[in-house]
Chain A
Amino acid sequence: MEKKWEEMSREERQEARFARWLAGEDLEFKSPEAKAKYERRITRVKDAIQLKKLPDRVPILPWATFMTPELGGANPKEAMYDIEKLNTAMMKFLNEFNPDYYGSAIIIVHGPALEKLDYKLYKWPGYNLPDKYVYQCIEAEYMKAEDYEHFIDDPTDFWLRSYLPRIIGALEPLKDLPRLYGTMELPSSWTLFFILGLPEVQEALKRLMEAGRLSHEWSEKIADFDKEAQEMGWVSFAGGFTKAPYDFFADTLRGTHEMMADLYRRPDLVLKAIERMTPLAFKMGLDGPEASGNPIVFMPLHKGADGWMSDEQFRTFYWPSLKKVIMDLIEEGCVPFLFAEGGYNSRLEYLNELPKGHCIWMFDQTDMAKAKKVVGDTTCIAGNVPISKIMTGTPDQIKGICRELIDTAGKGGGYIMAMGCAADEGKPDTVKAMIDFTKEYGVYK
């Protein structure tokens, strides 16, 4: 009899999630070859992650934001505003470059919906940036120092009535909503119903509905594309998303500078807020694999990199909560896919606190030979092809870099060929060189 989920070990759960991914539940493969390709690609990355069996070859992941559509012929503005162009470009990229995995365009998000919302957290092409530029976050103090108590007290209430009204212009009137708890009784429900009827709140809800409609239409077309691409044998790489609890605050709540000052001014509140965020970050990460059937949870890491804090600060404010999110995801059989932007040379030893064969650590500028040596027996590593060389180098130069990476980081398995970042742009000849060379030279014998 099959074991119940509660009785399974984390290894068994991981196997179960991989089996679900491999089965491709709703996919109707275009051909037996396409099905075989899809399965081979998932098995390849599974072997690289688990560190038990040597994969057939080094898996290839051109992880990207706007690079994929751009190399297929859609500039960033077109990608955000023209779904037909976006999907056509994505398919052209897959056909011409033929990688193992790709990142879904769902993260690009639909420009007209953002316009409808008067979205303020980012600038984007086609609205307040020129067409050729990628979207960029505007750092500010969206959460004030005095909001810590509110957040710790009730994160969702803070999010609904303080954060969203600040980052989304159309939702500004939501700041006047009452606390929702009055709805536990009919008589005390009146405040919510009354405020929902205010003209400005009604207008906010109308705009939210319209943005939702636009986004939904767009997202469905992306989902259709992802289904079709996978039915042809390519694999959409990540099934979920979350972040390190510290980065929630340091990136888009308090902002980099204010967060750094908080480490001195109010360390206890910072720790309390991080503690509050930790289970939420885990649950958010788990939602993706539960819905998508893909166990990989992407986690971009920012403010804990080399130089961005001392070792003591890393040990106090960054690592314990991040480790907890990672471990909870692992216990659920998921595969945290951590992208360590910048350098992680001084943090590598910490990774050995994690169990063997459950994560992917993608590195930007970390010394890969050192990484292999220090954490190679614990975790699959990825990345490190410099985007500077991709953008301005020659195919031969890229081949040299990939050869070195395969020889060192790829030795004995446990490595995924990828650039050192989620690429906004690329150059056709160098990207192709990275992919084609790895297919040839990265075969394990």
Chain B
Amino acid sequence: MAEELTKLLADLKEKEALDLTKKSLEEGKDPMEIMVAAREGMKIVGARFAEEVYFIPDLVFSGKILKGIAQLAEPFLKKDMENQGERVGKIVIGTVEGDIHDIGKDLVVFMLDISGYEVFDLGIDVPKQKFIDAIKETGCKVVGLSGFLTLAYDSMKETVDAIKEAGLRDQIKVMIGGGQIDEQIMDYTGADAYGQDAMEAVELANQWYGV
């Protein structure tokens, strides 16, 4: 079952994957095993995306299939079991103040999640104080700032400055990304790095967490 489910998810067969999940649960299969199999499938999706066999629609659709599987499995899962598996590290991420775009950010959250990170997604239009609170609460080592509009340049810069003022800058790495982000904006905002797509975000996180 597990191998089959992994393959169905990797090949984006929604109906078949959900049917198999339902059947397996009814037959009393371990829901944890199902979730692990699904995660394996997501890893293959991620790999295919990295190889440019898959594109953004494939990524988005696989996320919807995973959600469907998780919803089916949820009633069978015992408490505290949902957050299965060891996590590589914690990452706080959000779209900076004034900007309400989330498509790019969601892709990064998604890729980090299937790459084994525990991601704290603060959402859109996130004030700088909220980033600082989240860094303190989670003890994360990596922060991701997202923004699509040019107004995000200043919001990113102000957020990085606020992290500095809060005395947290030395303990974290900041990555930025978005439609109009490049090396010059990285320098302007004082971030440590920028990424052009979701894969680069994972590479940066791996580098910083020593994966």
A contacts, CB < 8 Å to B: 123, 129-130, 132-134, 136, 138-139, 256-257, 260-261, 263-265, 307-310, 313, 341-342, 386-389, 391-393, 420-421, 423-425
CB distance from B28 to the nearest CB of A (A): 30
A392 & B56 in contact (Cβ 8 Å cutoff): no
A265-B14, A386-B180, A421-B180 given as contacts; is B55 within 8 A of A307 (CB)? Answer: yes
- Of B54, B55, B61, B149, the contact of A136 (CB 8 Å cutoff): B149
Inter-chain contact B184/A389, CB cutoff 8 Å: yes
**Interchain CB contact under 8 A, B55 and A424:** no
Within the assembled complex, what's the spacing in Å between the Cα atoms of A264 and B179?
26
Using A136-B149, A265-B14, A389-B184 as known contacts, say yes or no to A260 and B60 having CB atoms under 8 A apart. Answer: yes
The one of B57, B60, B149 in contact with A424, judged by C-beta atoms closer than 8 angstroms, is B149
Interface mask (B171-184 → A, CB under 8 Å = 1, otherwise 0): 00000000111101
Cross-chain contact B56 with A308 (CB below 8 angstroms): yes
Q: Please, how many angstroms separate the alpha-carbon atoms of A249 and B101 in the complex?
A: 18
Contact B150 A263 (CB under 8 A): no
In the complex, how many angstroms separate the beta carbon of B70 from the nearest chain A beta carbon? 16
Partner of A425, one of B54, B61, B106, B151: B151
Contact (A309, B150) CB under 8 Å given A388-B182, A389-B184: no
Contact B103 A264, beta carbon cutoff 8 Å = no
B interface size (C-beta, 8 A): 29
Cβ contact within 8 Å between B57 and A136: no
Question: In the assembly, what is the distance between CA of A265 and CA of B18, in Å?
Answer: 13
Which residues does chain A contribute within 8 Å of B101, judged by CB atoms?
136
Of B55, B99, B153, B179, which one neighbours A309 at CB under 8 angstroms?
A: B55
Q: Is the CB of B185 within 8 A of A388?
A: yes
| Docked-complex contact B60 and A307, CB < 8 angstroms | no
14 contacts between A and B (CB under 8 A): A123-B100, A133-B98, A134-B149, A136-B99, A139-B103, A256-B60, A257-B103, A260-B57, A260-B60, A261-B64, A265-B14, A342-B179, A391-B153, A420-B180
| B62 CB, min distance to chain A CBs, angstroms | 10
- The CA-CA distance from A132 to B151 in the complex, in Å, is 9
Partner of B56 from A133, A136, A309, A425 at Cβ < 8 Å: A309
A393 to B100, CA, bound (A): 25
Q: Are A256 and B103 in contact, CB atoms less than 8 angstroms apart?
A: yes
A133 touches B151 (CB 8 A): yes
Inter-chain CA distance A388–B101, complex, in Å, is 18
How far is A341 from B55 in the complex, measured between Cα atoms in Å?
Answer: 17
CA distance A132 to B14 in the complex (A): 44
How far apart sit A123 and B58, CA to CA, in the bound complex (Å)? Answer: 30
Residues from chain B with a CB closer than 8 A to the CB of A387 are: 150, 180
Is residue B197 contacting chain A, with contact meaning CB distance below 8 A?
Answer: yes
User: For residue A425, which residues in chain B have a CB less than 8 angstroms away from its CB?
Assistant: 150-151
Q: Which one of B12, B60, B188 has the highest number of Cβ atoms from chain A below 10 Å of its Cβ?
A: B60
- Chain B, range 181-203, C-beta contacts under 8 Å to A: 181-182, 184-185, 188, 197
Complex Cα spacing A310 to B52, Å: 9
Pair A307/B197 contact, Cβ less than 8 Å: yes
Q: How far is the CA of A134 from the CA of B101 in the complex (A)?
A: 12
Closest 3 CB pairs of A and B: A260-B57, A260-B60, A392-B188
Chain B residues with Cβ under 8 A from A420's Cβ?
180
Q: Which residues of B contact A342 (CB under 8 A)?
A: 179
| A135 to B152 alpha-carbon distance, docked (Å) | 13
CA–CA, A132 to B64, complex, Å?
Answer: 36
What residues of B have a CB within 8 angstroms of the CB of A123 in the complex? 100
Q: Contact mask B68-103 → A, CB, 8 Å, 1/0?
A: 000000000000000000000000000000111111
Q: Name the distance in Å between B124's Cβ and chain A's nearest Cβ.
A: 10
Known: A133-B151, A264-B12, A424-B150. A138 touches B57 (CB 8 A): no
In the complex, what residues of B have CB within 8 A of residue A393's CB?
184
The docked-state distance in angstroms from the alpha carbon of A111 to that of B23 is 54
A427 to chain B, nearest CB (A): 10
